Amino acid sequence: MIAENRRARAHIDIPLILLVTGLSLFGVIAVCVATYSIDSTAETLLAHIIESSSAMRQCFFLLLAPVIVTVIINIPYHVLKRFTKLLYFATSGLVLFTLVTNGAEGVKAWTDVIWDMTIQPSEFIKLAMILMLAQELAKEEHPMSTIRDFFRIMGMVIIPGIIILASGETGSLIVIIFFFAIMLFFSNVNMKLLLTMLAFAVLAVLALYGFMIATGVEDYRLQRILAFFNPDLSPLDDAYQMRQSQIAIGSGGVSGIGMFQDGAMSQLNYVPADWTDFIYATIGEAWGFVGCFSVLMVYLAIILRMLYLARYTRDKYGMLIIVGVMGMLLFHVFENIGMALGLMPITGIPLPFLSYGGSNMTTNMGGIALVLNVTRNRSLSSGFAAPQTRTTTFRYIRQR
- What is the domain partition of the chain in residue ranges? 2-399
How large a percentage of the chain has pLDDT more than 70? Answer: 84
H/E stretch holding 348 reads none
Determine which of 99-103, 152-156, 212-216 has the lowest per-residue pLDDT on average: 212-216
Report whether 212 contacts 219 (CB < 8 A). Answer: yes
Closest Cα partner for 107 from 281, 351, 346, 358?
A: 346
Of residues 382 and 67, more confidence is placed in: 67
Report whether 384 contacts 316 (CB < 8 A). Answer: yes
pLDDT at 147 over 60: yes
pLDDT at 384 over 60: no
3-state DSSP assignment of residue 211: helix
Report whether 161 contacts 173 (CB < 8 A). Answer: yes
Residue 238 confidence class, pLDDT cut points 50, 70, 90: low
Report whether 244 contacts 217 (CB < 8 A). Answer: no
Distance of CA 285 to the CA centre of its chain: 23
pLDDT at 394 over 80: no
Whole-model pTM: value is: 0.88
pLDDT at res. 290:
96
Mean pLDDT of 162-170: 85
Closest Cα partner for 395 from 324, 328, 316, 326?
A: 316
DSSP result, 268-303? TT-STTTTTTTHHHHHHHHHHHHHHHHHHHHHHHHH
Report whether 14 contacts 259 (CB < 8 A). Answer: no
Report whether 10 contacts 377 (CB < 8 A). Answer: yes
pLDDT at res. 390:
39
pLDDT at res. 281:
94
Q: What average pLDDT does the structure give for the chain?
A: 84
Of residues 132 and 110, more confidence is placed in: 132
pLDDT at 317 over 90: yes
Backbone phi, psi, residue 343, to 5°: -100, -10
pLDDT at res. 381:
40
Going from the C-alpha of 52 to that of each of 29, 32, 33, 169, 385, the distances in angstroms are 10, 6, 9, 28, 49
pLDDT at 87 over 90: yes
3-state DSSP assignment of residue 34: helix
pLDDT at 254 over 90: yes
pLDDT at res. 41:
80
pLDDT at res. 308:
94
pLDDT at res. 392:
46
pLDDT at 165 over 60: yes
Residue 396 confidence class, pLDDT cut points 50, 70, 90: very low
Range of 40-44, 215-219, 327-331, 392-396 with top mean pLDDT: 327-331
Q: Rounded to the nearest 10 degrees, how much is the dihedral formed by the CA atoms of 371, 128, 195, 388?
A: 50
- Give dist(CA 325, CA 322) in Å, integer: 5
Determine which of 147-161, 274-288, 371-385 has the lowest per-residue pLDDT on average: 371-385
pLDDT at 16 over 90: yes
Residue 217 confidence class, pLDDT cut points 50, 70, 90: low
Chain segment 319-350, per-residue pLDDT in tens: 999 999 999 999 999 999 999 998 888 888 89
pLDDT at res. 332:
95
